[in-house]
Structure 1
Amino acid sequence: MILEQQYDYRPVTPWGGMQEMKMLLEKTDIRSKLEGLPLPISNSNYSISTLDIIESFWVSLWIGCFRFSHTAVVRMDEVINLL
């Protein structure tokens, strides 16, 4: 069996399975369900959306982070931000 190799110049991330997690979030429509909850809203121009914080926390758990402060790993990854 011969395997063909192809090179790609698109960014690569160590979190390769995150596309499936994104599809799961979209399929379950969890974001719209969370929008219906009385979540706190910040009035600061520099604040991060409450829904984005919740989603990034879930994603960080899925990739193996075990502290809330590790969610910055998700926020700084260029490829995940493109999803």
Structure 2
Amino acid sequence: MAEAEKVQCIPYEFSEKRVSPWGGLRIVREFVNNIGLEDAFERLELPAPGSNRGYKALDVVMSFLVSIWIGGNRFAHFGLLRYDEVIKKIFG
């Protein structure tokens, strides 16, 4: 019973900030910036979108890499990234 009483004493508060279990990816983003990964991909002749609604190849590659970094193991997993506001803010 003493343990349960201690848990009740943990302070908490509410916040309007967006949270994500992947907030630590900010450090990965800094690493990507420091090594110039996106610049290296931009120098490659990646295919352009085939329509005005297509995605840039760099966006697809970066989404796939982020999905791998957070443990995704199916192509469907990287589609879920678009719903995480924190990841969108970190990686644009």
Query: What's the TM-score, normalizing by structure 1?
Result: 0.84
- Larger helix share, 1 or 2: 2
Q: Which amino acid aligns with 1:33?
A: A
Please report the RMSD computed on the Cα atoms of aligned residues, expressed in angstroms. Answer: 1.7
| Matched-pair identity in % | 35
Question: CA separation in 1, counterparts of 2:35 and 2:45?
Answer: 20
* 2:69 maps to 1:62: yes
Match of 1:75 in 2: 82
- Unpaired runs of 5+ in structure 1? none
Structure 1 segments of 4+ aligned residues over 4 angstroms from their partners: 3-7
Deviations along 1:14-40, one digit per CA (max 9) or x if unpaired, are 112110111111111111111111111
The structure whose Rg is larger is: 2
Q: How many residues align?
A: 81
- Unpaired runs of 5+ in structure 2? 1-9
What is the Cα deviation at residue 43 of structure 1? 2.9
Match of 1:17 in 2: 24
